[in-house]
Structure 1
């Protein structure tokens, strides 16, 4: 029965994807290592698509969750008050909001996924402004439900919607000239371009290939939103929770979003949670229950998420993230220098990308990585390999994973 996969192939939907790149049956995981049923060990540089910032089965979180369950803690509570929800909110306010002077923010717990939080943010912006259009940017990824999918740029994802994906104006990321033209069109009543409800942007495009927003450009996006009466929404679902060496990916950009969308690493141990940080002046537009969902009260995510937040009491954790990110970057830079088929390297903290000349080559490399015991994935339109290992990865495991990556690249590129 070990590593038997026929039951998945016979009964699970054809929609399955990640298992095709990692065709084995996993049975256990700890921090940045996964073990399959054949006892083969893999280094995990994928971390549940960026969910597991604090590793698989984080010991402190696991201990707290076991205690929580043994004490009959409330695992599912809709949006009712619970002790663990209170502790999570209190910790988030003290460690994340107050140091930034953001006491005016309201925490809106949405359904359990990032895409649901994006949908809530879009609804609120449209409700506040009475407008329909939203500006989103090329290469952006915001989710797979219809509202968020309309904002997502990649046609490979958009093609299965089955209905028109409307009410989105597509902007060009990091392009000051394009932004200037958009301003002129919005402000000129004869252009046919109406003022939008919101500008939605990732300050660090993750699925799009690890592209960081230029500070001057993102400040101009914020200004254009303010000038046109639109809300400024930052989708930091994959970039936040310490991924970049600061809690938010935009902490160094001096922006002041009206709504910040969070999920993924927020739940700590990999259990689901989605949340919007809304400025209070806009949050008051909601009436009770206008955006609801059964799975908003995630007790396990509150317990583990609180422990994850405690890493940000000081800069020690962030500094380690930056240091490890530099170790990865040095390795990727050496490959960039050695091979013409490598087109570039980008990084911020511990989110990194290495560009190959085409998607077919990147797929060969990720397949070889799996054979060599490394879990890593491609992004964008397939030509970019993205590094998002757990932030808690031990240094020797990190270096072993990098050695496996280099070995895989060299075996393909010669």
Structure 2
């Protein structure tokens, strides 16, 4: 009697992760260094000048870290309440920050005490930035106003009160000292020109605005709020170009890569998405352990820093070419078990006497039932939940075999559409 031939299970190609240039580029970071701050990390800013130290704003202090330091090399702690938006000037010499107590403080990076204190806001100041000429500061506050300040005289130059809710984000033009943009919880973005006494452009994001970003050319503006990231064309009067909805919780911060060809967004859903700025498709994704409040990239994308609600600062450093080559060399090493398969590929010569070892046939559960023509139990065995989840090709192959034998109706007999198989 001929031996039973087991059911042939087809092998389907597995869909793995598509490896692209973006995958290789954004995965080329070392394991993250994690530093515990005193509170939620609300803002991170890299110094534009080498060695590109970065300022981390968390709770009532601002810590400055070196590129590879795991301890702060400088700390500004002269805040009476929660500090916000610690930013470097373009020469890296000064740092400005807002505070819950409504006072804006200007620090020398090499000093400790505030050089200037700007008083005029009546509520918390969440937005601070330097203008491109380095001599003025733009601020935005929960008192619905944004103001322009003169640094040498520590005086207020202009005040705008056009928003009808908290101003929580803003950015200044790097090409024109008079232009700056603010985003508010009243859902609007406003472009201001310091030479005019009112805003020159208004865009409606449709959600409370959490973050704004200007492209390097400053022709495009990106806003984040709610689950949406939107791109606006400033050269066409603030016309909306793209609306992205790739996060499933509020998007809190935005960032551009050094080349300007990749846009990064981070959210309370614990993900950082990387978009191609030509078609705005997601090309990579980072996962983190907690909700993200702040995000920054060092020049040349050498360091990726993320601040979270649980007070953890995550720092990823790019691998050097030597480390990348070393790792790829490790992948090419031969498997350690090669000694156990020695002789497997040996081809017998013409005069060799070949002794074949009898291999005992082990049948799967469904094959054992099929061998004894118990088609109902064979189908039940193939449709067990564990088998369905791990190897969905097995139930398909068994059903095809039953159909080939003409016994599929018998295997399904006595069942109804509500009965669960397996």
Q: Same fold (TM over 0.5)?
A: no
More strand per residue = 2
Q: Which has the higher helix share?
A: 1
What TM-score bracket applies, with the shorter chain setting the length?
Answer: under 0.3
Q: Which has the higher contact order (CA 8 A, sep 6+)?
A: 1
TM-score normalised by the chain length of structure 2: 0.24
